[in-house]
Amino acid sequence: MKRVYGLLGWPVAHSASPAMMNAAFAELGIDAVYLAFAVPPANLQAALDGLLALGAGGVNITIPHKLGAYQWAPRHSDEARLAGAVNTLRLHPYSDGEDPEAADVMGHNTDVAGWWTSLRTALPRMPKRVVILGAGGAARAALAGLALYAPTAEVGLAARNLEKAAETAASFQEYISVNLVSWREREQAVAAADVVVNATPMGMWPQDDTSPIDDETCLHPGQVVQDMVYRPLETRLLQQAARRGAERVDGLDMLVRQGVEALEFWLGVSAPVEVMRQAARASLGL
């Protein structure tokens, strides 16, 4: 019987993950299927309990469930503990020699390494000043990545929910310098940054006419502007960055890199990176 894996989010219709992960299973000869599950926030625990009871192998977690999944998981990887968020859950081991009813529940965060790997290829040097827009699970993954790989960077954190931003910033003060930036002053902070990261859903389909930046003159040559959104691949923010001469990093490589990490976490085998990348691109019509 096929082992079930999947993605939990609200919404998930836009996701390229099923195409990417099912292509990987086929390439590896794994008898498994990856499905997208649209789960309202109030139903997250029930959905996870049900998948665990059904013997699912594992799931990825996306907006808005990463903090809820962290609270649900009984154990956490170092990356998940640092981020305070879970984007990947291993529920049961994938092995014919294991009892299929034996749970192995572990919360992990593959966004941390996936984010840094996707960003570092565009960096001419280690970042000195970084502005992160957003304070949810994606922002926490970026902060954790900076804490691990660029701990000397000065970070500005701006979000529309100031209380949430303050809570997020405080939880990382032990590891990295994080300064709280009010949403109305975000563009001033962006103008002084060498790396700008959009960790909000602004610009994501179906609201792809939005951007976290109103006045694009705060963007300039010499900056690296990364948008974690990958549908559409060319977000409004990245269009603004292009007009201002900034280096751009789209969200597709991060999607692929975190997916590679998740697959290897679940199965303990090397993931077919290029097969996954091509499947993700095809799903986006590229």
What are the tens digits of pLDDT across the range 261-278? 999 999 999 999 999 999
SS3 content of the chain, % helix, strand, coil (to 5): 40, 20, 40
**pLDDT greater than 70 at residue 96:** no
Q: What is the pLDDT of residues 68-89, one digit of tens each?
A: 999 999 999 999 999 999 999 9
Same domain, 243 and 262: no
What does DSSP assign to residue 58?
E
Please tell me whether residues 134 and 85 are part of one structural domain: no
Same domain, 59 and 86: yes
Q: Give the DSSP letter string of 175-221.
A: TSEEEEE-GGGHHHHHHT-SEEEE-SSTT-TT-TT--S-S-GGG--T
CA atoms within 13 A on the CB side of 274: 0
Q: Indicate which residue of 2, 66, 128, 164 is catalytic.
A: 66
**Which of the 8 DSSP states describes residue 155?**
E
Same domain, 54 and 183: no
* Domain shared by 97 and 176, yes or no: no
CATH code of residue 226: 3.40.50.720
Could you tell me if 89 and 144 lie in one domain? no
- Shortest CA distance to 81 belongs to which of 144, 157, 2, 16? 144
Would you say 199 and 136 are in contact if contact means Cβ atoms under 8 Å apart?
yes
131 and 232, same structural domain? yes
Unique residue bearing structure tokens 């002053």: 185
Check whether residue 246 and residue 257 sit in a common domain. Answer: no
Domains of the chain: total: 2
Residue count of the chain, please give it: 286
Lowest mean pLDDT among 99-108, 208-217, 265-274: 99-108
Residue 160's domain comprises 112-250
66 catalytic per annotation: yes
Q: How far apart are CA 134 and CA 155, in angstroms?
A: 12
- Shared domain for 227 and 267, answered yes or no, is no
Does one domain contain both 82 and 19? Answer: yes
pTM: 0.90
B/e letters for 54-69, b = 16+ CB within 10 Å, e = fewer, are eebbbbbbbbbbbbbb
Residues 51, 93, single domain; the answer is yes
259: domain CATH number? 3.40.50.10860
Q: Are residues 101 and 116 in the same domain?
A: no
Q: Indicate whether 98 pLDDT > 70.
A: no
**Closest by Cα among 160, 131, 148, 108 to 227:** 131
